[in-house]
A and B are shown apart, each in its own frame.
Chain A
Amino acid sequence: MCEMVVKTARLMVGVPDYETYVTHRQVNHPNQPIMTYTEFFRERQEARYAVAKGRFRGCC
């Protein structure tokens, strides 16, 4: 329950689950580089605000 709340709060600000990302890379892209948590966080932060087609967020 607590873990869910934390995951929800993080996704609310655009940061998905890091563990899920690592597992995904290990299973599907073995022997390829995996971002550290800091890199992952920065990448997600940039992506959330990178303005491009189809990226809109809350207003009303």
Chain B
Amino acid sequence: MTLQAKVMWAGIAVLGAISFAIVALTRGEPVNAAWLVVASVCIYVIAYRFYGLFVAHKALSVDATRQTPAYRRNDGLDYVPTNRYVLFGHHFAAIAGAGPLVGPVLAAQMGYLPGTLWILAGVVFAGAVQDMTVLFLSTRRDGRSLGDMVRTEMGPIAGSIAGFGVLLICVIILAVLALVVVKALTGSPWGTFTVFCTIPIALIMGVYSRFIRPGRIAEMSVIGAVLLVLALVFGRTVSENPTLAPYFDLSGTTLALIIIGYGFVASVLPVWLLLAPRDYLSTFLKIGTIMLLAIGIIIVHPDLQMPAVTRFIDGSGPVWAGGLFPFLFITIACGSVSGWHSLIASGTTPKMIENERQIPFIGYGAMLMESFVAIMAMIGATVLHPGIYFAMNSSAGLIGTTAEQAAQVISSWGFVVTPDILTQIAHDVGETSILSRSGGAPTLAVGMASILSSFLGGRALMGLWYHFIILFEALFILTTVDAGTRVLRFMIQDFVGAVVPAFKETKSWTNNVIGSGLACVLWGYILYQGVIDPYGGIWTLWPLFGAANQMLAAIALTLCTVVLFKMKRERYAWVTMAPAAWLVVTTVTAGLEKVFSPDPAVGFVSHAWRFSQALSAGQVLAPAKTMETMSRVIFNDYVDATLSALFVGVVLATLIYAVIDVRKALGNSKSTAVEVGGAAIAGGNVG
């Protein structure tokens, strides 16, 4: 390293340390969001240069002379050597989604500091390492999927267990993300109208790009974007029109049924008609909005209103139940480490990498960027008045249904707020009420609307910004619902097809209808249960989603560890073993607490018992209002307890297989990893 470089890195380290000290040590007065941004960026840059590259070059030993699948199997379609910046964009667009936006918002109930620390530490040592290592393994195996790699490296049984884990996470992810949309649109005619409009807009775009001007992506996207803005603006008129508004003023249960029906219909339609155009629109909108948020935060650099740490680190929080350990690490999910990414890092990206040396830039780098999105979400949630934050994220069972009740309860928690503040903010964003809009999206939308409107449009445009952010989240969540239902259908066909071979035929329309129906019933059941849950759904379901996602990350990192041992690189196996161990500990602890904790707020079983006892004594416990709700709460408790236990089982089973494989690998003096291709020269021209 030259002297100049040394000075530069020392400067970045000092700047990061100062920013971090300001963020961490400021007490009693609001800290500016700019310090959080500077501290995070410094950490990312240093982590990439000194840890990411270390893992890539020392632990994985990426080989610049080795031919990548993009050259070995070049077909001009799936396998194409692709410029690394272009591929970075592709990979980032594929991993970015709703997760990093929602998790940090929910974690903000403990204050901005605990969540921020885990977002940063988690991405550097776990999330980015996982994404990069899986990308590396898949690149050395012709772009094979995670499930395939588990099967070949750890055996067919471990492979089936991992496959079952993926099935579980798919069901839960769809239910929870759909729930986020339901929570955001309930009783909001403006939002509902705008989101409904995306369906005809997508159909118009689909027909345009299929028949009128085939393949003109830019043209159709511009048409879609213009129509979308019109729908957004016109939404306000609809919401203020006494005849039209009631048609779009829907209850949670109605919205849930509509989304389930939509998921079913959309997943059996041809992709070019609805899924693809909606996907194009949501992808571009996603990237554009993320850039807009970054610019907004940098220009406005607001103060964070939330305290660094709140009293809810003891586990008594109203947004989700459970203490800092392990539940903070479960809640943040995708912003620091996401098992879902291991599916994407072993999907299309490894088939396009030009050279193994680019793996850290794409795998580690894109995940750092994802983590930055999570930091922005954390900022969006914590620039709000804490009273507004808790009013939006606590269930009606806790804070009541009027602004007066809510203000009184929240003030009694120590976050002094007046009913006027709560009604004023609802009025500003063009809604009748903001109470109990849990799920993260509305909170983020209010936070971002207040940031964006302060430099673009002022208070007059706040409602428009709010509904724009809601639209942006709903759009890509609905795309996920559509695409995810198809994936789930395929997995169900695969599992059921093992018993009934005829069901495996994915070209059959009957099979697809039955498969889609089953898929929608699975996630739709959990969604519906979440919507009618007297606790507000997110309170119960988000920890399950977080645990599922961490479970998958634990499986992926365990696979990475096993392969490092099999490659005889055990000296460096700690780079994946340490985060894998941490994820196993948090997932298993969280899963066991969710099942067995004697605290009814945390443990599903003890909660069910409490309600069963009350039920047999003829009592009705709040927040349930009828005996029927009581029985439903009990049944759902057992369903959720079973799911939690399954996560623990999947993680532990994978761990046992890993230990066996590692022992075997240690006993072997040669590398036993199953790789494809060897020491050929990269860049060779193979057809």
Partner among A8, A24, A25, A43 whose Cβ is within 8 Å of the Cβ of B85: A8
Residues of A close to B83: CB separation below 8 A = 4, 7
Residues of A close to B85: CB separation below 8 A = 4, 8
Partner among B173, B214, B218, B346 whose Cβ is within 8 Å of the Cβ of A41: B214
- Given contacts A24-B74, A49-B271, A49-B483, whether A59 and B90 have CB atoms under 8 Å apart is no
Partner among A13, A44, A60 whose Cβ is within 8 Å of the Cβ of B77: A44
| 28 contacting pairs across A/B (C-beta < 8 A) | A9-B217, A9-B284, A11-B86, A11-B90, A12-B90, A14-B348, A16-B352, A17-B80, A41-B209, A41-B215, A42-B272, A44-B77, A46-B271, A48-B271, A48-B276, A49-B275, A51-B489, A53-B148, A54-B144, A55-B348, A56-B340, A58-B94, A59-B173, A59-B340, A59-B480, A60-B97, A60-B98, A60-B338
A32 to chain B, nearest CB (A): 11
Residues of A bordering B, CB below 8 Å: 4, 6-17, 20-25, 27-29, 37-38, 40-49, 51-60
Q: Do A11 and B87 touch (CB < 8 A)?
A: yes
CA A7 – CA B80 in complex, angstroms? Answer: 13
Residues of A close to B486: CB separation below 8 A = 49, 51
Partner among A6, A25, A42, A57 whose Cβ is within 8 Å of the Cβ of B76: A25
Q: Do A13 and B78 touch (CB < 8 A)?
A: no
A27 to chain B, nearest CB (A): 8
Residues of A close to B144: CB separation below 8 A = 54
Q: Shortest 9 CB-CB distances between A and B: which pairs?
A: A60-B99, A54-B145, A41-B215, A24-B76, A21-B76, A8-B89, A56-B343, A28-B687, A60-B334
Q: Do A56 and B215 touch (CB < 8 A)?
A: no
Q: Do A54 and B148 touch (CB < 8 A)?
A: yes
Q: Do A56 and B93 touch (CB < 8 A)?
A: no
Residues of B close to A44: CB separation below 8 A = 77
Of all chain A residues, which has the CB nearest B370?
A: A60
Residues of B bordering A, CB below 8 Å: 74-78, 80, 82-83, 85-87, 89-90, 93-100, 143-148, 173, 177, 209-210, 214-215, 217-218, 271-272, 275-276, 279-280, 283-284, 287, 333-334, 338, 340, 343-344, 346-348, 352, 476, 480, 483-484, 486-487, 489-490, 494, 506, 549, 685, 687
B383 to chain A, nearest CB (A): 23
- Given contacts A49-B483, A49-B486, A60-B99, whether A54 and B347 have CB atoms under 8 Å apart is yes
CA A52 – CA B144 in complex, angstroms? Answer: 12
Residues of A close to B76: CB separation below 8 A = 16, 20-25
Per DSSP, chain B at the interface is: helix
Q: Do B284 and A58 touch (CB < 8 A)?
A: no
A16 to chain B, nearest CB (A): 5
B224 to chain A, nearest CB (A): 12
Q: Do B145 and A53 touch (CB < 8 A)?
A: yes
Residues of A close to B97: CB separation below 8 A = 58-60
Residues of B close to A59: CB separation below 8 A = 97-99, 173, 177, 340, 480, 484
Partner among B89, B215, B276, B490 whose Cβ is within 8 Å of the Cβ of A37: B215
CA A2 – CA B247 in complex, angstroms? Answer: 44
Residues of A close to B89: CB separation below 8 A = 8-9, 11-12
A5 to chain B, nearest CB (A): 9
CA A40 – CA B214 in complex, angstroms? Answer: 10
Partner among A41, A45, A52, A60 whose Cβ is within 8 Å of the Cβ of B549: A60
Of all chain A residues, which has the CB nearest B339?
A: A60
A21 to chain B, nearest CB (A): 4
Q: Do B344 and A58 touch (CB < 8 A)?
A: yes
A50 to chain B, nearest CB (A): 8
Residues of B close to A42: CB separation below 8 A = 210, 214-215, 272
CA A4 – CA B84 in complex, angstroms? Answer: 11
CA A60 – CA B338 in complex, angstroms? Answer: 8
A35 to chain B, nearest CB (A): 9
Q: Do A56 and B283 touch (CB < 8 A)?
A: no
Of all chain B residues, which has the CB nearest A43?
A: B77
Residues of A close to B489: CB separation below 8 A = 51
Given contact pairs A13-B217, A60-B340, a sample of 11 additional A-B residue pairs in the complex whose CB atoms are under 8 Å apart: A8-B86, A11-B90, A12-B287, A24-B75, A24-B76, A27-B685, A28-B74, A41-B209, A56-B347, A57-B344, A60-B334
